[in-house]
Structure 1
């Protein structure tokens, strides 16, 4: 067996299951599950129809590169959304089966394990796929703490120059999971300068980019930052996007990567062997989804309404605020995050995720400790009811 499998930690939701073992939830209250970032808003009917109307394509093997029409649709969407020249659909865009599998597979393409010193930088707290991808590619993860006193910004200067020399890949998540922080242009500039100096690749996870609260101010993306800083070739940068959150289709498993053509070419080679071609019916549904923004605006409106009403209720007792973007509240707890989550289930039947499960100890601290992640993905009234229960629970502490 691959010995690196022994390095993997249990996934956060496995830890949560163990934490809740033997804990009876409040018997008179229905469960409200806010622990997992699974969109619960309805899938738009036109996407469902596009999927159903193209099942004849199941009789054909799809190509790993995807249909020209899909790549061109994605390239056009990138241009509209990010205000950049359309990337070359043939060389700079590649459909993927959801951003999760692509984020993992990307490290297997990028990492050169021959020297035995490869390092991968990721934010801390973080999406655990980054860590697993690094470990199974033979690299050492380096955790860069994102903390309240720096407004959860990635502090590139916190990593000494000696450590950067062995870095081959940097994962960034903007808007961030779980804090919702959006990287600034200055932060991108500093990261690009480090990449130029040390030659590492940047994987920009932007799967939450379409959940934000001001239609006039969409979150800055990596491609936009690169273009504004004179890096129109997107050298050493690949961004990852997905329809899951944007269009409420997590089960569709559809996304894309876009950026540096030389890296996309190598990633396509890897994926040809990996067997990652997208189902033709899914490609058709994806074209329909990327071509429509009305349903995305409606989706944002529903999240904005929930955040507007829920955040003040929870902030009355727990330190939290509306994030830059995304659908998580990152709330400070007055007791240990694990105890808070366990007792909230027992007394109020509300499920949240302890922040310590999303982070690793680095520089002597676990930056997720004494925080909880609250995913406002449930229907509006359920989120409000959860906020009221959390308030009642906090009053009892």
Structure 2
């Protein structure tokens, strides 16, 4: 009666965390540092734009995004990365990038690759939708460990040839969730060359690209264009959730080659849920405005400084290059999260809830992920409690 392909899925990370913690009393005032849900103030013009365009709730929104929104996105890609795309044929607005990361695989992954079951590569640790997308299209998910030995980036080039010959899609997140590592231009060049050699697509999840410490992350899109690569080779995803503190807007976009976007749009026409018109107007303004993004980034840069000071004497601590997570080394992530909850009330996520066991081990088992999204004073208090409880 029910499909077998989803029968062996582990519990999702947050229900799993509730099962671990919730039958124990917290050891103090609760500090939530688990979910990457931005808490900084979103731009003050958001509500006004929704009110001004409220009549748009009385209309079905355009499936692909309004021309004005597509144009604002294309303009931002040019302004931010120096990348050139055609707004009408190479951009589609998304109802949150998770939708796009999933449906792009549905639209673009072939049924077979070189006569065999296709493979979808994913970093390990990973955003869970990568794995579910692979399973949904009948592909084999292959988890490529990203550890301290590889600077917390997956080494796709080290995979055996039989795996690469079956690979149809490689998901890559940069800046990385959870480690905060940024893929260099050289990393992207090597991955793109590998994709050209073995004829697979790269799905570049760049949702954290606007939160960084010093140097703006490069985009796989621009690197591919500089290399003269086939435009269909790289499909790139961005979001307003982190960039603009608008997780509830559920707004992002996908860009890539015209044929890839055409196929994603066609699937969306049948099965997707386009963003309501008033929210598309907010997104249009958000992509056109950089001031609020600069202000938001400055707040996170101050949080980096605070974290670096608090954990300065903790062995193995490595502050993130980008994003808003700390990836802290511990002996056992589950034990550390439980101890922290019972003794302090600080709530963090065991790293193994974001990763899979492989022949090389589970790269998340000896880590906890800490989200630095709370107001600065609350975050600072939580980080001090983590240090004193786990690293004293």
Bin of the TM-score, shorter chain as denominator length:
over 0.9
Q: Is the contact made by 1:154 and 1:187 (CA closer than 8 Å) also made in structure 2?
A: no
Question: Which of 222, 225, 242 pairs up with 1:224?
Answer: 222
1:379 aligns with 2:378: no
Deviation at 1:14, TM superposition (A): 1.3
Deviation at 1:226, TM superposition (A): 1.1
Deviation at 1:151, TM superposition (A): 0.9
Q: Is the contact made by 1:156 and 1:190 (CA closer than 8 Å) also made in structure 2?
A: no
Deviation at 1:318, TM superposition (A): 5.2
| Residue in 2 that maps onto 1:53 | 52
Deviation string 1:160-209 (CA, Å, 9 cap, x unpaired) is 01111111111000000011111112221221122112221111000000
| Residue in 1 that maps onto 2:273 | 276
| Residue in 1 that maps onto 2:297 | 300
Q: Is the contact made by 1:8 and 1:135 (CA closer than 8 Å) also made in structure 2?
A: no
Q: Is the contact made by 2:307 and 2:319 (CA closer than 8 Å) also made in structure 1?
A: no
Q: Is the contact made by 1:310 and 1:383 (CA closer than 8 Å) also made in structure 2?
A: no
- Alpha-carbon RMSD: 1.4
Distance in 2 (CA, whole Å) between partners of 1:68 and 1:386 is 44
1:181 aligns with 2:181: yes
Deviation at 1:116, TM superposition (A): 5.7
Question: Which of 300, 315, 333 pairs up with 1:337?
Answer: 333
| Residue in 2 that maps onto 1:18 | 19
Q: Is the contact made by 1:178 and 1:328 (CA closer than 8 Å) also made in structure 2?
A: yes
| Residue in 2 that maps onto 1:66 | 65
Report SS of the residue matched to 2:45: helix
| Residue in 2 that maps onto 1:264 | 261
Distance in 2 (CA, whole Å) between partners of 1:365 and 1:381 is 37
| Residue in 1 that maps onto 2:96 | 98
Q: Is the contact made by 1:97 and 1:276 (CA closer than 8 Å) also made in structure 2?
A: yes
| Equivalenced residues, count | 389
Distance in 1 (CA, whole Å) between partners of 2:22 and 2:387 is 24
Report SS of the residue matched to 2:6: helix
| Residue in 1 that maps onto 2:75 | 76
The structure-2 alpha-carbon separation of the partners of 1:395 and 1:213, relative to structure 1 and needing over 3 Å to count, comes to closer
1:206 aligns with 2:206: yes
1:44 aligns with 2:43: yes
Deviation string 1:225-260 (CA, Å, 9 cap, x unpaired) is 1122223x5232110000000000100000000111
| Residue in 2 that maps onto 1:155 | 155
TM-score if structure 2 supplies the norm length?
0.96
The structure-2 alpha-carbon separation of the partners of 1:83 and 1:4, relative to structure 1 and needing over 3 Å to count, comes to same
Distance in 2 (CA, whole Å) between partners of 1:369 and 1:75 is 40
Structure 1: unaligned runs, 5 residues or longer: none
Report SS of the residue matched to 1:90: helix
Q: Is the contact made by 2:336 and 2:390 (CA closer than 8 Å) also made in structure 1?
A: no
Structure 2: unaligned runs, 5 residues or longer: none
Q: Is the contact made by 1:70 and 1:287 (CA closer than 8 Å) also made in structure 2?
A: yes
1:242 aligns with 2:243: no
Q: Is the contact made by 1:144 and 1:154 (CA closer than 8 Å) also made in structure 2?
A: yes
Deviation string 1:111-155 (CA, Å, 9 cap, x unpaired) is 223566111000000101100111111111000111102211221
